[in-house]
Amino acid sequence: MTIKTGESLPETTLTKVTENGPEQVSSSDFFKGRKVALFAVPGAFTPTCSAKHLPGYVERAQDLKAKGVDEIACVAVNDPFVMGAWSKASDAGQAVTMLADGNGDFARAVGLEFDGSKFGMGKRSQRYSMIVNDGVVETLNVEAPGAFEVSSADHMIGQL
C-alpha cells in the first residue's frame, strides 16, 4: 500500500553518500526534526533523471531552502558508489544529499516500487517527490509511468 500524506515514514536503512564514503542511516534519524524535500528516481544516470530531475533540484536548491526546506535528498535503488559517482558527474555536491536504497527496502516500504525487469532494470523506485516534515509526509507527488511533471523541483516550490 502506498504511503499517504499525514503518515510517518516507515523505518528502513538507507545509505547516505558522504565525502568519507558510504554511511548507513536509519530513515527515522535522517528525517527527524527537520523538513526534507525528497525526490526519488528510477535510476542514477538514466536519461530523464540525469537531464531533468536531479539538475532541477540542484539549480533550485536555494529557492527550496528559502521556502523552509532544511535538506534536499535524492533516493534511488542504486548502490552508494553509483549514487556517489552520479553526484560528482552532476555537480550535485552540497545541494543534494544522495541516498542509496540498494535493495529497494525504502521503495517497497513506502509502496512505491515498480518492476522494471522488462527494461533490464529489475525492481526500482517509481518517480516521485515528497515533503517530509519530522518524519511525516506532508505532500506526495507520484508521477504517472513515463511522466516527469509533478515530481520536479519547480512543482515542489509551487507547493511550498
Residues designated as active site: 49
How many residues appear in the chain?
160
> Which one, of 121, 66, 71, lies nearest residue 92 by Cα?
71
> Which one, of 53, 102, 52, lies nearest residue 73 by Cα?
53
- Joined grid coordinates for residue 141: 507527488
Beta strands in 63-127 (DSSP E): 71-76, 97-100, 113-115, 123-125
Residue linked to cell 527550496: 64
Q: Alpha-carbon distance 75 to 102, whole Å?
A: 10
CB neighbourhood size of 3 (10 A): 18
